[in-house]
Amino acid sequence: MLTINNKNLNHFKNKFKKKINLLALDVDGTICLDTRYNKNFNLFFEKKDFLRSLRKLIFFSNYNVVFITNQSGIGRKYFSINQYKEYIQKVMTFLDLNYSIYVEKVFVCPHRPEDNCNCRKPNGNLLKKAISEYKVKPESVLMFGDNLHDKIELNKATNNKGNFINVNNLNNIDRNYY
């Protein structure tokens, strides 16, 4: 399991707000189109409507925002961990500058499915690590994802106490969550 901290200089802006909740985001297919094994920021195509609505949710709530993601392209040697770190840092900076969505940390599994590691979604361990690190209650976790693996990850990590929203079933989250 690998974690990547956001090194953006704007991190101080949220330090004065007490945060008690965790908002977990899948990356590929959730905040952007899934371009399969992407390490190239030029192929990052954000889901604008979702991110605009997410910005409002975060603004009116007290969330620590993290990414929870499988990146088997690392294990398959399509790209290195350092290439992925560079890519995801650009994504995090882009979200902060364009949507005021500050992602504090990335919890990533770099293994292939056939490696049978214990950190790969949907084992629950990536999100459990985030819950433990941020010292939040399982019922205060909100996860956005695009497939069943994301929902299973949440259910295993929170003993079915967290909240899951499938971004493929949304027109707009504005009316549902604040």
Domain boundaries, the chain: 2-177
Q: Which residues are catalytic?
A: 26, 28
The string of pLDDT tens digits covering residues 133-164 is 999 999 999 999 999 999 999 999 999 999 99
pLDDT of 10 above 70: no
Q: Give the SS3 label for residue 127.
A: helix
The string of pLDDT tens digits covering residues 67-125 is 999 999 999 999 999 999 999 999 999 999 999 999 999 999 999 999 999 999 999 99
Q: How far is CA 172 from CA 101, 138, 146, in A?
A: 17, 25, 14
Rounded Cα gap, residues 149 and 147, in angstroms? 6
Provide the pLDDT for residue 60: 85
Q: What is the mean pLDDT of the chain?
A: 85
The string of pLDDT tens digits covering residues 40-76 is 777 778 888 999 999 999 888 889 999 999 999 999 9
Rounded Cα gap, residues 98 and 90, in angstroms? 12
Task: Tell me what the mean pLDDT of segment 3-11 comes to.
Answer: 52
Q: How many CA atoms lie within 13 Å of 172's alpha carbon, on the beta-carbon side?
A: 7
Alpha helices in the chain (DSSP H): 48-59, 72-75, 81-99, 125-134, 148-158, 174-177
CATH number of 2-177: 3.40.50.1000
Rounded Cα gap, residues 173 and 31, in angstroms? 13
Percentage of the chain exceeding pLDDT 90? 66
Residue 61 backbone phi and psi in degrees, to 5? -130, 175
What predicted TM-score, i.e. pTM, was given to this entire model?
0.83
Provide the pLDDT for residue 175: 46
Q: Give the SS3 label for residue 156.
A: helix
Sequence-separated contacts (24+) of 31-34 with Cβ below 8 Å: 31/91, 31/95, 32/91, 34/146
Provide the pLDDT for residue 36: 79
